Amino acid sequence: MSEHEHSEHIVSPGTYLVIILTLLALTGITVAAAYVNLGRFNIVVALAIATVKATLVVLIFMHAKYVPQRTKLVIIAGIFWLALLLFLTLSDYASRVDYRGVRFPMSQNISHILNQHG
């Protein structure tokens, strides 16, 4: 009793070509951006571009745009669980007070947090 896939959508070579060129361009942008001093945002930009690239690969090369709902749920669940692992663990680290001499943004005592602006 498999869920019925609509007749197979074949992605054209033309589309693949556009995607690969986009990916290469984005790679170039990533490298170029690394040479610009954006401070704390270098990593944000790098990961954002990587995520765009990954999304293109998943949607087009891996046909995720055309798969049934169930498969989309599997993909989202995987990404969500990775986010859970990272986010919840980092939230423990971030909330510890001065752990191992490393200061996370929140690792100050309560009065500082109450007095700070955001």
Contacting positions for other proteins (CB under 8 A)? 1-3, 5, 8, 10-13, 16-17, 19-20, 23-24, 27, 30-31, 34-38, 42-43, 46-47, 49-50, 53-54, 57-58, 60-62, 67, 70-71, 74-75, 77-79, 81-82, 84-86, 88-93, 95-97, 99-100, 102, 104, 106
Q: Compute φ and ψ for 71, nearest 5 degrees.
A: -70, -40
Least Å distance, CB 117 to other proteins, is 19
Whole-number minimum distance, CB 114 to other proteins, in Å?
A: 13
Which one, 88 or 117, has the nearer CB to other proteins? 88
* DSSP string for residues in 1-62: -PPPPPSP-PPPHHHHHHHHHHHHHHHHHHHHHHTS--TTHHHHHHHHHHHHHHHHIIIIIT
Nearer to other proteins, 110 or 115 (CB): 110
Using alpha carbons, select from 84, 87, 89 the residue that is nearest to residue 99: 89
DSSP 77: H
